[in-house]
Amino acid sequence: MGQADVSFAINRPGQYRVLFSNKIDLGALDGAVTTDGATALALLVDTVAILRVQGDGRDAFFVAVQVHTWIHGIVDLVGTHPNVDWPTSDTLLEGLSAALDLDRAC
């Protein structure tokens, strides 16, 4: 999912900026999925919950927010500073997965 997000942002920077520069209604975030934004966030939370090892004690919503902000940080930095010799997006995403300990359940 992260690679798809990064690829979309790199290949369609204008569309990505428009998509994420506008306020997106995420609903009440109380578990009731009522908007496209809430649906996308719920999918990320569900995916994070699947990747976590049972009983590790972390809140799937909180970890999903960490993933979301980390990916957008990668996209923003790579997109706004293209002359920096950044590691590849795969390497950055692998670092995200390792740092948040999401790959041990795969």
Determine contact, residues 10/71, Cβ cutoff 8 Å. no
The whole model's pTM is what? 0.74
- pLDDT tens for each residue of 77-102: 888 888 999 999 899 999 998 888 88
Q: In the structure, what pLDDT confidence band is assigned to residue 106 with cuts at 50, 70 and 90?
A: very low
Tokens of 63: 């970890």
Question: Residue 71 and residue 93: Cα distance in Å, rounded?
Answer: 8
Provide the CA 84 distance to its chain's centre, in angstroms.
22
Nearest to 74 by CA among 54, 53, 95: 95
